[in-house]
Each structure stands twice: as structure tokens, then as C-alpha cells.
Amino acid sequence: AQSVTQLDSHVSVSEGTPVLLRCNYSSSYSPSLFWYVQHPNKGLQLLLKYTSAATLVKGINGFEAEFKKSETSFHLTKPSAHMSDAAEYFCVVSDYGGFKTIFGAGTRLFVKA
């Protein structure tokens, strides 16, 4: 069965420092993995997706994520946080086993000036 665990409900960083949002997944099949971001009063926006091509995936706004099958992880990183990155981030898995889209609980990112 599919599952997604976002290891931190809240992450706080200072502007200009690196961002790490952690995600572990469970999937019986080759999964597709996504990161979405939601800013207040906005819809979820796709940051990046992994679909069994390159394991290091680059997304919008300087974000990237690395698919590590041995660790069943898909952590989201950014070298330098910006105030506009403050939002809630969702890790998502889809696979052909359940043919469903499963969301993590979300990680709220705070960026301090």
C-alpha cells in the first residue's frame, strides 16, 4: 500500500539559509513523486515531479529533490531561502498499485528575516 510521511510539520529557517523538507514514502510499485506548494488563499502549485527518469529533479523557484530508492526518500531542498518561500509544502505519491494520489500531511515553512 502507498503511504507518504512528511517528517516535520513545521520548519523554520532564516532568509538566505538552506531549506530541507523531508519526505519518506512507501510504495509497492515504481512510484511517481511530486512536491506541491500552497501559499495562503491559493491553489496547490506543482514544484517538481519524479517519474523514473533522472533521480535529481529540478523544479521551479530554485527547488530540487532527490529520489533515493534505497532510503525511500524524496526530500525537497533549496540552497537559499527567500521570504516568498514561506508556505505549506506537500509531498505526494502516485503508483499503479493503488492508482491513487496520496498526500503527505504537509510541512509549513517559516522564513525569518
Partner 1 sequence: EAGVTQFPSHSVIEKGQTVTLRCDPISGHDNLYWYRRVMGKEIKFLLHFVKESKQDESGMPNNRFLAERTGGTYSTLKVQPAELEDSGVYFCASSQDGGLIDTQYFGPGTRLTVL
100 interacts with partner 1 by CB under 8 A: yes
Binding test (CB under 8 A) with partner 1, winner from 43, 56, 70, 113: 43
Binding test (CB under 8 A) with partner 1, winner from 14, 96, 110, 112: 96
44 interacts with partner 1 by CB under 8 A: yes
108 beta partners: 10, 88
Q: How far is the CB of 113 from partner 1 (least distance, A)?
A: 27
36 interacts with partner 1 by CB under 8 A: yes
Residue 13 or 67 having the CB closest to partner 1: 67
Q: Three-state DSSP class for 1?
A: coil
**How many helical (H) and strand (E) elements, i.e. helices and strands, does the chain have?**
0, 12
- Composition of the chain by helix, strand, coil, percent to 5: 5, 55, 40
Residue where the block lists cell 530554485: 62
Is residue 89 a contact partner of residue 36, using CB atoms and an 8 Å limit? yes
Residue 73 or 94 having the CB closest to partner 1: 94
d(CA 52, CA 63): 18
Residues near partner 1, by CB under 8 A: 32, 36, 41-46, 49, 51, 90, 94-96, 99-106
